[in-house]
Amino acid sequence: MKHKQRPKLPPGTMGWPYIGETLQMYSQDPSVFFAAKQERYGDIFKTNILGCPCVMLASPEAARFVLVTHSHLFKPTYPKSKEKMIGPSALFFHQGDYHARLRKLVQNSLSPETIRKLVPDIEAIAISALESLANQQVTITFCQMKKFAFEVGILSIFGQLNTGYREELKENYCIVEKGYNSFPTNLPGTAYQKAMVARKRLDQILNEIISERKEKKLLENDLLAHLLNSKDEKGQTLTEVQIADNIIGVLFAAQDTTASALTWILKYLHDDQKLLEAVKEEQKAIFDLNDGGKRPLEWAQVAPKPVTYTPFGNGAHACPGNELAKLEMLILIHHLVTKFRYETTFSIPVALGEFQKCDSVQSISNPSARTPCKVSERLQSQELFL
């Protein structure tokens, strides 16, 4: 009898039965675990994390294979502990009709027609973020970009949200993030348990916001409005749990991704003077057209353009927030290069704790996240520089 040949797996180790290599990963900074594996086995290796046998990919070719050329062979799944924390009804955990329904709602709330109305508010958030940055001696780029992306995320989900709710959401969301990549145990005092408690508080805050919105019968065009008004073919509305899980899901999908991309953009602009000059020239032309930055940016000046690579994924789960992401990144860069000066100060020692405050999503391995930076207001000179 012929034996079926077992598929060849990439190099690597699977660790113990069930727990696999989860303890090795969580007993240190997870990015150290991944870096060590990558060095030993290359860009594609097998392991077993959180009860999931998995293959880790760390090359653009491999990402293209999974997301583009062979995407039909793959189905996105997440460890149960992470699903529970974000909210199991969030769209990216689903396929089929439910996913299609939620995706349409998210897409509509982030369409170019909708986000073009957000330009003045995003501009205000970008300017305020940069001004507050300029008042600090030294800061960590990734942390600041996270704050910016969070504010824009809140804007696209809720429109103008009162400061009290915004602060409460921020405080509890930060605790959730800290627990997201921690070992999933419900022992009191652990990061995971604290995150689950904060996640419950987020539900309560969201329920309050929803009740207020329903009472006031506001006619908004943000994601919350799309979720509240949605009815399926049987006339069924979404439950409060489904709405809450999708709000947290979108916030989660929007923050570290955008902050990470912005951090890399700043790093490349800083490291490549020619590129920086070209960007400054391009943005200075817009700045001049707007009376030396006195008039607000117009949609035509910042409208997102298609990209020729695949940072936003591909297929059924491709990023519905890509236009908003490009828009907010461009607005921030416009103001940064036309009004501020940005330096990286590698030599300044920053306590590890400072970094870890921002390293909540360790899976976005980002060396430049650890780059302390200083932003100061542009000097008298007309010359623009970073």
- The residues that touch ligand HEM, with contacts defined as CB under 6 A, are 76, 91-92, 103, 106, 110, 153, 156, 250, 253-254, 257-258, 261, 311-313, 317-321, 324-325
Q: In the complex with ligand HEM, which residue's Cβ is closer, 139 or 257?
A: 257
**Residue 255: CB minimum distance to ligand HEM, A:** 8
Q: In the complex with ligand HEM, which residue's Cβ is closer, 169 or 384?
A: 169
Closest to 266 measured CA to CA, from 375, 354, 185, 362: 375
**Residue 160: CB minimum distance to ligand HEM, A:** 17
**Residue 113: CB minimum distance to ligand HEM, A:** 15
Q: In the complex with ligand HEM, which residue's Cβ is closer, 199 or 284?
A: 199
Q: In the complex with ligand HEM, which residue's Cβ is closer, 20 or 321?
A: 321
Q: In the complex with ligand HEM, which residue's Cβ is closer, 181 or 257?
A: 257
Closest to 165 measured CA to CA, from 212, 221, 223: 212
**Residue 185: CB minimum distance to ligand HEM, A:** 27
Q: In the complex with ligand HEM, which residue's Cβ is closer, 191 or 265?
A: 265
- For ligand HEM, the nearest residue by Cβ is 321
**Residue 104: CB minimum distance to ligand HEM, A:** 10
Q: In the complex with ligand HEM, which residue's Cβ is closer, 151 or 359?
A: 151
Q: For the chain, how many residues are written?
A: 386
**Residue 273: CB minimum distance to ligand HEM, A:** 24
CA–CA separation, 245 vs 89, rounded Å? 6
**Residue 288: CB minimum distance to ligand HEM, A:** 28
**Residue 45: CB minimum distance to ligand HEM, A:** 21
CA–CA separation, 202 vs 37, rounded Å? 36
Q: In the complex with ligand HEM, which residue's Cβ is closer, 184 or 321?
A: 321
